[in-house]
Amino acid sequence: MMNKRQSLSGIFQLIVTAPLVFGSVVASAYQPDAPHEKARQANAKAWAKQDADIDARLAKLEERFGKKPNIIYILGDDVGWGELGSYLGGKLRGTPTPNLDRMAAEGLQFLSHYAEPSCTPTRLALLTGRHPVRTGVDIVLWPGQKQGLAPAEVTVAELLSGAGYHTAMFGKWHVGDLEPHAPENQGFDYAYYGLYNGAIYSWANQDAFYKSQTLDGVGHFYDFPGTLADYEKKYGIKILGALEGRKGRGRREVARLTSESMVEMEARSIIKIKRFIQDKAKSDKPFFLYWASYAQQMASSPREYRFNEGLDYRNNQSAELAQHDDYIRQLLDTLKQAGIEENTLVIWVSDNGPMYAFWPNAGYSWLRGEKGEVYEGGVRTPGFARWPGMIEPGQTALDLISVTDLFVMAARIAGAEDAIPSDRVIDGINQLPLLLEGEGNGRRNYLFHYSGKDLAAVRMDEHKLHIKQGSRGGLPNMEIYNITRDPGEKFGAMYSQLWAVAPFQRLIGSHKQKIQEFPHREIRSGLFSNK
């Protein structure tokens, strides 16, 4: 469906008239964005040879194990660039993460992984390989809203299920409340999940908090109207707890939502995850597991991890990260015990930067910005990939990689590239060469950063443009940073970077023309909008 045309100002008034500089589409069902079309044409021969070499490695692995590789994607929550020990945090930040650090050391650590600026958008990007604005969702979702993951979108779980994979999802879904949006209706054979972000778990505690004998401080959501039942009675919005869904059989609520249920959901999730791995390791079919951890949401502080050595126990999120770190150890140990770690790609990334609104119960980033912003601190997050025998350990890579790339990489590994839909733009890029060949083999040199429905920043090689509203006497209103030289985005003076105006115009112009060719799903914009 054609989206409503949005008015453009400032630099966009120049950009929309920029000429399309890229040639015809490389023959394929897969429709990447315009800049990658150009790169595919320019590197066709070299990439074809590299892909053939990778095909040979994958074929040898499949011959050894008798099936395609397993794929596990783990999504952390609000974990900033600088929170983990492998990103200069860890004990220095009161958040020791020995097992996540071990995972980074045993594989390839991404120094330039980029997510969307907040939680719902990143989940949509991972699941569909597309910027959320393309899918018809431009907001972070709250209970009672009707936007969500459209049934017409094709998820990575649907692709892999069609390729013969077992599929399962655990944790924070947060891409729509309604049953058509649900994981069991979006390609997952099994799902154990919550619909909401961490704030809702704090809502459940407010009535009890204010009825306590003494009040120690102020609740996060001090104006919440009583209990969850009171909320439903007053507003007609029912808050659901932990859900269990099965493809073709619908879902059922298996636990009520309480102030303690986030800790419980994490604990139950790792038990179910280990059982899933142990069971599917014996199958003649591979598996895809998507674990969207609740760790780092402010409503949880698991007691058994709260006083670990070196941990800042007054910060709820430090205890949550300690819990998550221990569960990572259990997951990796289970893969090894099942004898399948060499046939299993595990990728861990965070969904966005920290949310300082609830400081000091918050994560941290060394970079400028936070969750909800397109400065580096909001969108540049930790991440790493581990695959013993396939990914050489001890690597770090500066190559750009986007959370959307995980969609295409999964399709590539599963041999399901031909199933990628051709009637829409897929923003993800095949980055398997980066994983298997190492630094310098990434295939991305640009990024588009959206804030809701608006294009707010653009990365081109080492330079990053922040688009501001209006103009300055005919000059574009913008900030341009050299991210290699200035990762903290401190020196964005426009005048020294005027040479970059036209190249950025052309890059964005090609992106806009691709949108005209493949329009977004319709969005009824606004914080309280429903679709």
Among 296, 305, 302, smallest CA distance to 264 is for 302
Instruction: Name which residue leads in pLDDT, 4 or 325.
Output: 325
Whole-angstrom Cα distance, residue 215 to residue 291?
36
pLDDT at 375 over 60: yes
Q: Comparing 325 with 205, which gets the higher pLDDT?
A: 325
Look at residue 249 and tell me whether its pLDDT is greater than 60: yes
Domain ranges of the chain: 67-409
Q: Are 151 and 157 in contact (CB under 8 A)?
A: no
Query: Which pLDDT score is estimated for 471?
Result: 66
- Is the pLDDT at 131 greater than 60? The verdict is yes
3-state secondary structure 406-443: HHHHHHHHHCCHHHCCCCCCECCCCCHHHHHHCCCCCC
Active site residue 166: no
- Do residues 460 and 504 make contact, with C-beta atoms less than 8 angstroms apart? yes
Q: Active-site residue among 36, 113, 119, 466?
A: 119
- Res 524: pLDDT: 57
**Can you give the pLDDT at residue 433?**
98
Q: Tell me which fold the domain 67-409 belongs to.
A: Alkaline Phosphatase, subunit A (3.40.720)
pTM here is 0.93
The pLDDT tens digits of the residues spanning 397-431 come to 999 999 999 999 999 999 999 999 999 999 999 99
Residue 530 in this model has a pLDDT that exceeds 60: no
Specify the range with the lowest mean pLDDT, choosing from 133-137, 324-328, 455-459, 521-525: 521-525
| Total Cβ atoms within 10 A of residue 300 | 25
- Between CA 419 and CA 158 the distance in angstroms is 10
Query: Could you read off the pLDDT of 449-489 as tens digits, one per residue?
Result: 999 999 999 999 999 999 988 766 777 788 999 999 999 99
Which has more confidence, 137 or 8?
137
Ranges 263-272, 352-361, 452-461: which has the least confidence:
352-361
Percent of the chain exceeding pLDDT 90 equals 77
In the predicted model, is pLDDT for residue 514 greater than 90? yes
Q: How much is the pLDDT for 299? A: 74
466 catalytic, yes or no?
Answer: no
What is d(CA 462, CA 481) in angstroms, rounded to the nearest whole number? 8
Span 170-203, pLDDT tens digits: 999 999 999 999 999 999 999 999 999 988 988 9
Q: Which of 56, 19, 120, 36 is nearest to 446 (CA)?
A: 36
Among residues 36, 113, 166, 174, the one annotated as catalytic is 174
Residue 49 pLDDT class (50, 70, 90 cuts):
very high
pLDDT on residue 445: 97
Place of tokens 């959307």: 404
